[in-house]
Amino acid sequence: MVQVTLSGTIQQAAGGISTLEIEAKNIRQLLNALEKLCPALKPELEKGGIAVAINGTIYRDDWFQPIPEDSEVFLIPRLAGG
């Protein structure tokens, strides 16, 4: 189980849920599981405006990045720069 914290616009899209527990071993599984759990998140996730932070390291696109057991995971807006 990993603890996932939602932030940004997706928190409301998920109906105001800010943390949930999800069974996922990598980022792709996490996103799929999230979509199943809160279908309202689907458009937000599909827009690609999301990055995933696992134990402090931010991944913008990396489906198969493993999520170790008991990780701290955050969904945050996908960063851009100047």
Residues that bind another protein (CB under 8 A): 5, 7-13, 15-16, 25-26, 28-29, 32, 44, 53-66, 72, 74, 76-77, 79-82
Look-up: residue for tokens 């996103």? 31
Nearer to another protein, 22 or 54 (CB): 54
Residue closer to another protein by CB (options 22, 44) is 44
The first and second tokens of residue 45, run together, are 């996730």
The DSSP bridge pattern shows strands 72-77 and 50-54 to be antiparallel
Q: Which strand ranges, in their side-by-side order, compose the sheet holding 50-54?
A: 19-22, 2-6, 72-77, 50-54, 57-59
Q: How far is the CB of 22 from another protein (least distance, A)?
A: 14
CB of 75 to another protein, least distance (A): 9
Query: Which of 1, 28 has the CB closer to another protein?
Result: 28
Which tokens sit at 76? 């945050």
